[in-house]
């Protein structure tokens, strides 16, 4: 014995309409919650309206943060290399070649970046800092090839100049810590 339940067409129409409104409401809630978590905030915790120009500046600041982190790592690598007067020429050569390759890659990345006009001076300083670290790797390579005290002192001086240049980048208030 089977029973068939007949649902009136008006009920089906009201049910469909109600489901559509429920889905629309759930969609609005989802978009609102998603927007709350994705929207950038200023220092006061208020949302920032990201225009294409502001989005470019925010993206550039993130790139600067990544570049300065890479430069910090290179500074530590060069400091370690210059602090250890190893007699293993091949290990030192491998390390200095690796650092030089990273700097060349970083230089190409910095040069290929679209720079917001308001941060052009910062970009120039970053380029100068990358060049200073490159000069430091060249001086370190000269010390590795000819391990004299004079070459070591030149390499340390070049590394100090590069570190000072990196410090000037961090003095800029727009650079993320």
Q: Are residues 77 and 163 in the same domain?
A: yes
CATH number for the domain spanning 141: value is 1.20.120
Tokens of 48: 């920032």
Residue ranges with strand state E in 27-149: none
> Considering only CA atoms, which of 20, 143, 170 is closest in space to residue 83?
143
Q: Are residues 63 and 116 in the same domain?
A: yes
**Tens of pLDDT, residue by residue, the chain (177 residues):** 677 777 788 888 888 899 999 999 999 999 989 888 887 777 787 877 778 888 898 899 999 999 999 999 999 999 999 998 777 888 898 999 999 999 999 999 999 999 999 999 999 999 999 999 999 999 999 999 998 999 999 999 999 999 999 999 999 998 887
Q: DSSP 3-state helix, strand, coil percentages of the chain (rounded to 5)? A: 75, 0, 20
Please report whether residue 73 resides in a domain. Answer: yes
Q: Are residues 137 and 163 in the same domain?
A: yes
Tokens of 128: 């100068």
Q: Are residues 34 and 60 in the same domain?
A: no
Instruction: Give pLDDT tens digits for 130-154.
Output: 999 999 999 999 999 998 999 999 9
Please report whether residue 176 resides in a domain. Answer: no
Q: Are residues 34 and 118 in the same domain?
A: no
Please report whether residue 163 resides in a domain. Answer: yes
Q: Are residues 25 and 104 in the same domain?
A: no
Domain with 21 in it: 9-38
In sequence order, the 6+-apart residues with CB closer than 8 A to the CB of 115 are 60, 123
Q: Are residues 121 and 63 in the same domain?
A: yes
The C-alpha atoms of residue 116 and residue 62 are separated, in whole angstroms, by 13
The residues facing 41 across adjacent strands are 47
Return the residue matching tokens 């905030």: 41
> Considering only CA atoms, which of 76, 166, 155 is closest in space to residue 122?
166
Q: Are residues 91 and 129 in the same domain?
A: yes
Q: Are residues 34 and 90 in the same domain?
A: no
Q: Are residues 28 and 61 in the same domain?
A: no
Counting the structural domains of the chain, the total is: 2
SS3 86: coil
Please report whether residue 177 resides in a domain. Answer: no
Q: Are residues 72 and 141 in the same domain?
A: yes
Q: Are residues 87 and 129 in the same domain?
A: yes
């Amino acid at each position: 014995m089977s029973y068939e339940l007949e649902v009136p067409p008006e009920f089906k129409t009201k049910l469909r309409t109600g489901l559509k409104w429920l889905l629309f409401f759930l969609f609005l809630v989802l978009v609102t919650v998603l927007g709350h978590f994705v929207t950038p905030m200023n220092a006061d915790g208020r949302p920032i309206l990201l225009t294409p120009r502001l989005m470019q500046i925010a993206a550039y600041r993130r790139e600067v943060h990544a570049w300065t982190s890479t430069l910090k790592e290179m500074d530590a690598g060069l400091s370690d290399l210059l602090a250890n007067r190893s007699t293993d020429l091949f290990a030192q050569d491998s390390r200095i070649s690796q650092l030089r390759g990273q700097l060349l890659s970083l230089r190409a990345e910095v040069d290929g970046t679209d720079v917001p006009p308001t941060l052009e001076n910062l970009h120039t300083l970053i380029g100068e800092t990358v060049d200073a670290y490159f000069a430091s790797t060249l001086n370190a390579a000269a010390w590795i090839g000819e391990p004299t005290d004079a070459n070591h002192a030149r390499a340390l001086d070049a590394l100090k100049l590069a570190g000072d240049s990196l410090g000037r980048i961090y003095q800029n208030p727009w650079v993320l810590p």
